[in-house]
A and B are shown apart, each in its own frame.
Chain A
Amino acid sequence: MTILSVFDIGLVVLILGIGASTIAAREAFAAVIGFVVYGLLLSIAWVRLSAVDVALTEAAIGGGMTGMLMLGAVVRLRLAKGSDTRASLPVRFSAGVLCALVTAGLAAAILSPPEAIPTLAPMVMENLAQSGLGNPVAGVLFVYRALDTLLEKVVLILALLGVWSLAPDSVWGGIPGLRVYARPSSTLTFLAQLLPPVGIVVAIYMCWVGAKEPGGAFQGGTVLAAMWLLVMIAGLKRVPSISQPWLRLLLVVGPVIFLAIGLAGMVLANAFLAYPPGYAKPLIVAVEVALTLSIGVALGLLAAGPPERVQQR
């Protein structure tokens, strides 16, 4: 037994233990904290599966952003009246048995792999050189399955529209209800001053390096969003009202440029979302930069929630 397999077993035990504790915990707060830790451990598992791009996304989104959203919700839900009744013992028991059956079915599928494992990896590598990209995952995201990536950004914007539309009519176009903890000379203020310059450089690096190495628009955008949220929560910068024209422009600039390049591909390269030969890499980098900005703003606003106050004029 090598040291790595011991590490893997330890990791799996931790992931399963903390995963189960998020379900079993009595307090919602403890469950959410467990979920953040779980997300970070899971990203290590992704590294062990040689999927570093996924690991970065899981750490940033699965642990960080989702955890932050849920923590905010837990604090607000403490005001809620009325308690839920727990499911009765027979219901819980039968649910447990059925869930165990689902797990057993999945485990059986994993333990009996097919004779010939279907894979698209050789085809991806065959044509990757034409795009000028070095990271096969970025190649899949921006060349082979560019439509998926485009629609994913549209989903983000649609989700944001959904969140905004939950605001009461009277505060439409107002300021998101992000909790601000402005205390002078606190640790939070210090961190909010110290981290953003570093974070912004990391975000730009991730976005740029995404073409060659693990990283990319999404991971970079998440770091940007985190820095923006940090500055807003510490009260160093006001939370903008959602009717600001610059905010809406930043939100759509990424998908619009992506779509424009895609449509131009219909004329120049004979297919929607195809890139003209020789220009693939510069076009993809341009799309990635625009997407990083849009994703950063969209994620930040999703985490900030629906508008709750009207802007003071």
Chain B
Amino acid sequence: MNAATLFGLSGAALVGFGLYGLVTNPEPLRKILAFNLLGSGVFLVFGVVSRRAAASGLGGDPVPQAMVITAIVVAFAATAMAIALVLRLLQETGRSTLSADNSGGTNTDGGNS
């Protein structure tokens, strides 16, 4: 097994970890974190595709590499937006949970009221 395959398999495992965290962990922030883990696993798999296509004296195909760089930036922008939403939810309701049944007499619509 060469290095690229090894990293590809660990990327596949990271996708599994991230997906599991995203589904089972109830806290919004932990879900965002798990989603980032999932994303980085996908990028790693994509990077292995790039490494395999090494040609013309390059270490890897530059097209997937450039796409991963764009993807990391967009993932960061989405994460920043998601965290701002969670903090706004906290500001509005004093809670940071996504479950609707947890009624504590607070405003649960989460909107701009």
Contact = CB atoms under 8 A, between A and B. Distances in A.
Mostly, the A contact residues are helix
Interface string A64-98: 01100110111011011111111100011001101
Contacts of A20: 17
A137 B62 contact: yes
A31 interface: yes
Given A57-B69, A95-B24, A163-B81, A120 B47 contact: no
Contacts of A79: 90, 94
B63 to A, nearest CB: 5
Contacts, number: 281
Interface stretch (A5-13, A185-193, A236-244): A5-13
B81 A159 contact: yes
A51 B65 contact: yes
B7 A49 contact: yes
Interface in B1-34: 3-21, 23-27, 29-30, 32-34
Q: Pick the 10 closest A-B CB pairs, nearest first.
A: A50-B59, A103-B16, A84-B26, A119-B53, A159-B77, A106-B12, A23-B21, A140-B66, A136-B62, A110-B8
A118 interface: yes
Interface string B43-57: 111011011111111
A174 interface: no
A74 B55 CA distance: 45
B81 A54 contact: no
Given A51-B60, A51-B65, A120-B63, A80 B11 contact: no
Contacts of B51: 49-51
Interface in A236-277: none
B57 to A, nearest CB: 8
A121 B58 contact: yes
Interface of A: 4-5, 8-9, 12, 15-16, 19-20, 22-23, 28, 31-32, 35, 38-39, 42, 45-46, 48-51, 53-54, 57-58, 61-62, 65-66, 69-70, 72-74, 76-77, 79-87, 91-92, 95-96, 98-100, 102-104, 106-107, 110-111, 113, 117-122, 124-125, 136-137, 139-141, 144-145, 148-149, 152, 155-156, 158-160, 162-163, 166, 168-169, 218, 299, 302-303, 305-306
Given A23-B17, A218-B73, A46 B3 contact: no
A77 B96 contact: yes
Query: Which range holds the interface residue count of chain B?
Result: 35 or more
B6 A9 contact: yes
Given A53-B65, A102-B16, 9 more contacts: A8-B3, A58-B40, A70-B32, A80-B97, A98-B19, A107-B9, A111-B5, A160-B80, A306-B88
Interface of B: 3-21, 23-27, 29-30, 32-34, 36-37, 40, 43-45, 47-48, 50-63, 65-70, 72-81, 83-88, 90-91, 94-99, 102, 104, 106, 112
B94 A162 contact: no
B58 A125 contact: yes
A218 B69 contact: yes
Contacts of A159: 77-78, 80-81
B24 A136 contact: no
A84 B57 CA distance: 53
